[in-house]
Structure 1
Amino acid sequence: MYLDALTIAALRDELAERLLGPDASRGGRVQRIVQPSALSVGLEIYAGQRYQLLASAEARSPRLLLVSERLRRGVEKPSPMQLLLAKYVRGARLEGVHQPELERVLRLTFTGEHGTVHLICELMGRYSNIILVSSDGFVMDAVKRVPASLNRYRVTLPNHPYVPPPPQEKVHPRLLTSQDLLAMPAEAPVWRRLVHGVLGISPLLAREIVHRATGNAEREGALDPSTAGAVVQATVDLLRLTETHAWTPCVGLTHEGGVAVPVAYAAYDLTHWPAREPADGMSAALARVLDAARPFDAYQQVRERLYALIDDQTRQAEARLASLRRSLVPEKEIEAVQAKGQAILGMAWSIQPGQEALEIDPTEWGLPAPADGGPLHIPLDPNRSPSENAQELFRTYRKLRAAAEGVPERIARAEADLAFLQQVRSEVALAEDRPQLDAIEGTLEEAGLAPRRTKPRRAATPGAPLSVHAADGTLILVGRNSRQNDEVTFRRGSPDDLWLHAHGVPGSHVIIKTGGGAVAEETLLQAAQLAAYYSAARHEAQVLVDVTERRHVRHIKGGRPGMVTYSHERTVTVNPTVKGDWEE
């Protein structure tokens, strides 16, 4: 789930209250340093009693919270980061806990025998990191070292200056006006407009704002000025918690097999959530939800290896796409090169030996005029004849033309690869057993996105799609990986069947076998719930699901398994189903 700015602010206040004391004059002392995993850090801090502080930069569930159990070492040998923490932080006192305004970042300041250092916890999804920074602002180490080849703007390596995350180009919530909201595109739900346009707003917070303002968290369409004003006021009221510190930590619940399961946390009352309970502090709320979301996973090592492989391929595809986009020359610029060559040939009679530029009237040769409206000057090589200068431009034109003809196709392939990798990453998260994970790895190998193993491994079959019978007996098929998606949609689905997919996020293909007849609304909603559950939006309170006839679904030409386009869809909104609600 998304750690937003309000959650971080509530954590800041909680840590300050418990670890710094009421007057923040004498912070707790760090007694012990452990590294539970390669991407996490644990501190035992004594401040009147022992507290266990866990920080993790895991992409799927970054966190910084107080935990009840004593933290244990989870790595074989200490990392350089842990050794530095042992030297500079163990035995030191916590002097401060600071959050840059509305950022998902907390900075813990420690002062000890070797001076003052800052432990900066950036809790930003797959960009999360834990960085140890010196008092003069230089990186000492990090759990994720980031070289310039991965991020030229933010190099996170020892002895480099610490650079904070770049500011987002969004409206500050205190400056938000009704006019700002009315100017946002009305096609998206109101909560999504807030997420995209206002600083520090997460999807959960945005839905809460819209619910408090309108009574409907999923409100869509254009807003009148009065309603827009109510949304702005609700935004301001909730963000004011960072000043009043009147936090009311809360856990949102759903039900699996009649059991209440915590799936959402907030620093405020989740009034739009059907079932909720107060929590004894922000750390307690986070721990309850995160522990429920990630129980012991026997396949964690396999998942982590696949995530690392997919993330590496994603970085390569992103770099390739950026390079291709930079190399794409506008059509007008390409044609201008040819026109300049033609102008040189046409004006060859006027060019004198040793001349370094040709002055022409651009309008006579179909060229854009300079900004000052004067003549255009074409550079010449004084050591070449007019014909040779023109031929050099024609050669450049042919190269640009050849590149322009190939680059768009290569851009499309890179974009398709990125979409496929996002889909496969979602499949890794949703895989429920080792055969499913092996099938995903096999799909990556076949796509040329993973090295084939030199040693034979057990056959990675895609397995059978999930088959579910609705209450009226209608068969529903669910693909749980890319190859199963292809099978469900194109081999077992008929043109008259209904096809479903979670809107705008990676997820499973779902088919309702209609037999050419009408589909009951209850069956359609059950299939939509399955599509939502087997998608990257599984833990959202509500999910949009697209529905269309299978005849309107097309495999992307040259695309990877499971990559499709579709049309003639309508959209339904459902709560993601849980396994207790259906039988296979």
Structure 2
Amino acid sequence: MAFDGIVLHTLTSELKKQVNSKIDKIYQPNNSEVILQLRQRGAGNNLMISISPQNSGLFTTNKKTDNPLSPPLFCMVLRKHLQGGKIVDFKQLYLDRVLIISIEAHDEMGHTKYVELICEFMGKHSNIILADKSKNTIIDSIKRIPPSISSRRQILPGVTYTAPQKEAKLLLTSFFSEEEFSTRLLELPIDTPLSKCLVNIFEGFSPLLATEVVYRAGLYIHTPMDKCGQIEISKLYQQLLALKSIVEKQQYTPTIALKRKEPKAFSCIALTHLNPSYQVEQFNSTNELLSEVYFLKKRQSKFNSFHHKLSQIVKSELDKSKKKLSIQNEVISNSKTADKYRIMGELITSNIYQIKPGTKKINVTNFYDPEQGEMEIELKPELTPSANAQQYFKTYNKKKKAAHMAAQQKNIIESHFNYLESLKHSLDQAENLTDLSEIELEMREQKLYNPISEKTNVKKKKIEYSPYQFFSSSGLEIKVGKNNKQNDWLTLKASNKEDLWFHTKDIPGAHVVITRQGQEDIDQESVNEAAMFAAYFSKAKYSNQVPVDFTQIKYVHKPSGAKPGMVIYTNQKTIFASPSEDFLKKFNLE
């Protein structure tokens, strides 16, 4: 990511359109965001300011966000000083990541006053500060910084505002000669990579922007400075002048690079050095770009949080099942000695008339032993020989019964464990909030997830399932379920009885279906490709020679009471599949 000084510079010029906008309302959704609701010539807009280290930025948008019922203290302070005010100017501090919004407002007596909303985008040190412009004092801030946190720069009400310390760097928007640039380079350690050199020399440069400049100069992006001569320095200087021209003429190309719809990088210029596998999109303005980045990252953050919550529930249930299996296995293991107690009971009975009352132990011939060896049997002297024998028979029956019950419980636990493994696989395959919502619904139905905030008697929304859809080399449609609920729907409701069904053998994975589309026979290449899809969308994704069973849908059945995604099938054939690189490239898989 790169919300750097150059991006903020391009944004500042676009925000000038909001000058003279009236501040109608002010909201603070959380501890790192402030929204100013603006109105200009009858049109409304929201100015979003976010100082979240993971998602910082500033832009205007028409999208609405959720706000708390009770406004935080800083929000109330902003409303007191800014509501009804008018934006006078947007000014960037040098090329730093600091934006000053000048506002003309009125105090309680109706007198005009000038305040500044200072937005500092400095990673974990980011802040939003409200200051009195005439006195240059801080009114309040979204994050207060007392002396206990910073001895150099306090951010507290009544304290004089001091800007972040400016480093002695060159400004891209000012004149700098090749000689000056070369001198700055030589002042740095000789093993410093060129991209890092640019970050150290120029104000407002991020590592991403610096890497792009080095790449455009035709140099290896990790080239150390000691590998550069005057020719390389001149090439670099020329690209810096080209970037300077872009900034001065405002000929920007706001660009975002996505991987699986997740933003990986963005800048106000085209990013040519990135991996070609990234999906690149361009925007008409930096404001549109930052808005898109913000909401994509927010959606991704929500997805990650939701995914983590569901995954932790499944992990906890898997751990419980493992412990239960361990207990049942121990009971079954202990039962292997049960016959020993039966034999001792039999031997006591056989020698009952030879045992004197009060005897503590006896040594008798074990006629169950092929070698007829002797066995020592302990007795309870307070019991009769017959009662001692019954005690051993009772222990024998207890262990056998416990083993039988443990075996039954083990089957139930193993079935539940396998289901949880399939649920875990579904979560690993989930790509968006819709996928997670389907899995959440399944977990609720299975009593695995029951949030406290869940309302009762709420009408369930009808779910429209959207499995993955591919087409084989011969043009046959291949569908792949994304989770257990989709697997059931795809196999049992959305397919014809003559369609071919695929699933990895004894391995959690997706249901895969080839639709016949009226064809009597399905070609072998389509069968091979469907098997590779089944292998790829399974827990054995990275294995070779994955066994995949396939049969017609009419031979696939769901037992009564079975968990989602659990089916039984007959008349199957088995094929071994290994998704090749050519296969992955052909179907845009990774």
Please report the TM-score for the alignment, with normalisation by the length of structure 1.
0.48
Please report the TM-score for the alignment, with normalisation by the length of structure 2.
0.48
Larger radius of gyration: 2
